[in-house]
Structure 1
């Protein structure tokens, strides 16, 4: 993404791909909202942006000279990800 500085065509192309990813995941989050599975204070698009941000964060984390173990990453991701959703053992999907 840093290579997009001074390269407006590349920036635009990446922005379009990012928008497609966000829009697609937003549709999934809308389904979850309609099923009362997405926390009511979240919009489907904000939840989609958050999920994609967490996934992109893995790329950054792998550049660390002292990276965390895969298990630690997975635990942190599951904890953060689960914060988006309503947990109900009686919920039928």
Structure 2
């Protein structure tokens, strides 16, 4: 097994309605991410910011490499999107770190 580090994964959420993200929506999404994070996600830190076209989600996860970090982050965000916590959003294209 390789060394595990804390890696940053940035994932955009795009609004289905075209409405901009809000501070309150970002706060609710951040809370939902913490509420649904399990040991398998290895979540260390979350930052959600509103954008004109949705939300920017930055997750720091413990992983051996970028691929594993992206898999953990996407799994968590997909779970949260499935709960309805961000029902007006979908994952957008990856944001380079």
Q: TM-score, normalised by structure 2?
A: 0.28
Instruction: Give the structure with the larger strand fraction.
Output: 2
Rg: which structure is higher? 1
Q: Which has the higher contact order (CA 8 A, sep 6+)?
A: 2
Instruction: Give the structure with the larger helix fraction.
Output: 1
Q: TM-score, normalised by structure 1?
A: 0.29
